[in-house]
Amino acid sequence: MIRLEKRPEPSRGWTALTPVLAVVLTMIAGGALFALLGKDPFVAMKTIFWDPILGEYAFYYRGQLLVKAAPLVLIAVGLSLGFRAGVWNIGAEGQYIVGALCGGAVGLAFYPAEGWYIFPLMVVAGALGGWLWAMIPGILKTRFNTNEILVSLLLVYVAEQLLAASALRWLKNPEGQGFPGSRNLAQYPAASNPELIAGTGMHWGVVAAMIAVIFAYVLLNRHMTGFHIRLAGQAPRAARFSGVSPSRLVLFCFSVSGALAGLAGLFELTGPAGQISIDFNVGYGFTAIIVAFLGRLHPVGILLAGLLMALTYIGGEAAQSTLGLPAAAIQAFQGMLLFFLLAVDVLINFRVRFGRAMA
């Protein structure tokens, strides 16, 4: 029989090892799943994990890696601060949309003017939009003690309606022959977010994600606010005793995660997406939740997890097209990653003992 024995202290070794173990277990279970679907599991794993980086067509995929990872990392870093403090912003997808809409609206308002100041103004507007959308659950929670999980999640669907209305009416391209969608910002130089180094996928969103990772690392390890965030998550009563104001902490966490999600939306809109369309959002805000936990809510971990998750997206798409794997199988594969991570997490705080059953 297997017994679990609580460790006196969390194991540092396992804290670092469990993500790796989770990836290995996902590969095994995912491979079994693909084999049952009649595909060679080894070829599938190679297509997903190897080809996008080192395969024949890697020059195409490599750029995609940063493009996909940047919004995930940017959003997940913001969310991780709240998750550490026990503040559950589940609605980053909505903040992402509203950030893109606000930033995009500012850019479209200047069209066709040229000026260096236009893009920075859009960035500010994007962050403000995400921040505003996040303030709704934040203020409702601190004022009326509503459940922030529910409110932030439901606001995603409100944001999707705003997106549809924008694409169909408010921000519709007047020269678009009646097709839904805004002007293409990627073709409006003053408002575009181009690739900074050709072929790498490096755009301003990637730069912002790197800055966010460093900012979060310094905040958590060197600053009082970060210390209070960790304290509030681990021991809420001790946090109050220390002098943390729970309301201010909730608002801070929602501010940062909302603004970063808004930024991610804006960089996506002005770069890879180009225009506001009905299907502008593709679920980065939700996937970022997985990325945050996969990265142990640690900024550097999130950076790695974001790259890994981006890889499974790109590799998954490749597997769909070259091997004919169904999209649902790829989604299940990505879901397994979080499942196994949470399952092996038990090793951090518990020691597994194999021994005789208690009589």
Partner 1 sequence: MSEAEPLLRIEGLTKAYPGVVANSDVSFSVGPGRVHALLGENGAGKSTLVKMIYGLVRPDAGRMQLNGAPYAPPNPNAARASGVAMVFQHFSLFDALDVAENVALGMENPPPRRALAQRIREVSQAYGLPLDPARTVGDLSAGERQRVEIVRCLLQSPKLLIMDEPTSVLTPQEVEILFATLRQLAAEGTAILYISHKLEEIRSLCDGATILRLGKVVANCTPAEVSARELAEMMVGQTLITPTRAAAEGGKVVLEVSGLSLRPATPFGTSLKDIGFSVRAGEVLGIGGVAGNGQDELLAVLSGEAPVAAGAVRVDGRDVGALGPVERRRLGLLAAPEERLGHAAAPDMSLTENAMLTGSGRMGLETRGFLDWRKARVFAERIIAEFDVRTPGPSHAARSLSGGNLQKFVIGREILQEPRVLVVNQPTWGVDASAAASIRQALLDLAARGAAIVVISQDLDELMEISDRFCALNEGRLSPPRPAKGLSVEEIGLMLGGAHDLEAAHGTA
Q: Which spans of this chain sit near partner 1 (rule: CB under 8 A)? A: 8-10, 222-225, 227, 230-231, 234-235, 237-243, 245, 358-359
The smaller minimum CB distance to partner 1, of residues 12 and 169, is found at 12
Separation of alpha carbons 104 and 172, rounded Å:
11
Question: How many other C-beta atoms can be found within 10 angstroms of the C-beta atom of residue 18?
Answer: 21
Separation of alpha carbons 148 and 146, rounded Å:
6
Q: Which positions ≥6 away from 90 have C-beta within 8 Å?
A: 149, 152, 153, 289
The smaller minimum CB distance to partner 1, of residues 328 and 358, is found at 358
Find out whether 96 and 269 touch, Cβ atoms under 8 Å: no
For the CB of residue 175, give the shortest distance to partner 1 in the complex, in Å: 51
For the CB of residue 357, give the shortest distance to partner 1 in the complex, in Å: 11
Separation of alpha carbons 110 and 123, rounded Å:
14
The smaller minimum CB distance to partner 1, of residues 59 and 144, is found at 144
The smaller minimum CB distance to partner 1, of residues 253 and 314, is found at 253
The smaller minimum CB distance to partner 1, of residues 68 and 228, is found at 228
For the CB of residue 293, give the shortest distance to partner 1 in the complex, in Å: 17
Q: Give residue 54's identity as a one-letter amino acid code.
A: L
For the CB of residue 351, give the shortest distance to partner 1 in the complex, in Å: 9
The smaller minimum CB distance to partner 1, of residues 234 and 321, is found at 234
Angle 261-252-74 (CA atoms, 0-180°, nearest 5)?
A: 25
Q: What is the DSSP letter of 166?
A: I
For the CB of residue 227, give the shortest distance to partner 1 in the complex, in Å: 6
Separation of alpha carbons 30 and 105, rounded Å:
43
List, in sequence order, every beta strand (DSSP E) within 237-285.
none
For the CB of residue 89, give the shortest distance to partner 1 in the complex, in Å: 23
